[in-house]
A and B are shown apart, each in its own frame.
Chain A
Amino acid sequence: GDSVTQTEGQVTVSESKSLIINCTYSATSIGYPNLFWYVRYPGEGLQLLLKVITAGQKGSSRGFEATYNKEATSFHLQKASVQESDSAVYYCALSPPTNSAGNKLTFGIGTRVLVRP
């Protein structure tokens, strides 16, 4: 089945420094999957941060960006300068390219980011 592997555990970074969270995927469906980054702030549900459904494209939102690299099967999340408000848990996810049954999302384990002032 499909799988997503991302940076494990907690990443601690100082405010204004750069952040990268690694994500690689393996998809069994024919064609290229849709790729997502979701974020969960304390006490909140997951919310979509960005998505890319076309291989080779880059998505961006709130200063974050991720590039869909089909050769490396990667979708790393980066931000050049983080803020305390970026402290959250980040999930990489994929779904099949076609509107298959349920269009199920497969998630990575989540990476907790702690931004220190």
Chain B
Amino acid sequence: EAAVTQSPRNKVTVTGGNVTLSCRQTNSHNYMYWYRQDTGHGLRLIHYSYGAGNLQIGDVPDGYKATRTTQEDFFLLLELASPSQTSLYFCASRRQGNTEVFFGKGTRLTVV
């Protein structure tokens, strides 16, 4: 079973704060993704990556940076957090050539 681990699972920060969400996959998957999920919206893609050092912009990238340091690790950075970034964030991974995407359990971020 493919494993995607997110940390922290819950985070509260203040407006203007600096937050890093971490994701690690041990599946040797090429692709990794960061999504956010909000009431009234499906999961929306923030950033994704093909592999270490690669970064691609998703559909809702404003206010977010991301970095893929290794094949396993993908980080999402909020350098000036705003209340509009309060959301449930999911990391996911996929092997090139496969259609199935594997998700982590999510990080609930609250910006007060």
B-facing residues in A1-51 (Cβ within 8 Å): 1, 4, 34, 36, 38, 43-48, 51
A-B contact count (CB 8 A): 57
Closest chain B CB from A102 CB (angstroms):
5
CB distance from A50 to the nearest CB of B (A): 11
Partner of B99 from A34, A43, A108, A110 at Cβ < 8 Å: A34
Q: Can you spell out 24 A-B residue pairs with CB atoms less than 8 angstroms apart?
A: A1-B59, A34-B99, A44-B105, A45-B105, A46-B43, A46-B103, A47-B102, A47-B103, A48-B101, A51-B100, A95-B99, A99-B96, A99-B97, A101-B56, A103-B94, A104-B33, A104-B45, A104-B48, A106-B42, A108-B42, A109-B40, A109-B41, A110-B37, A110-B42
Nearest 3 Cβ contacts at the A-B interface: A107-B42, A45-B103, A46-B103
A residues neighboring B (CB under 8 Å): 1, 4, 34, 36, 38, 43-48, 51, 53, 91, 93, 95, 99, 101-110
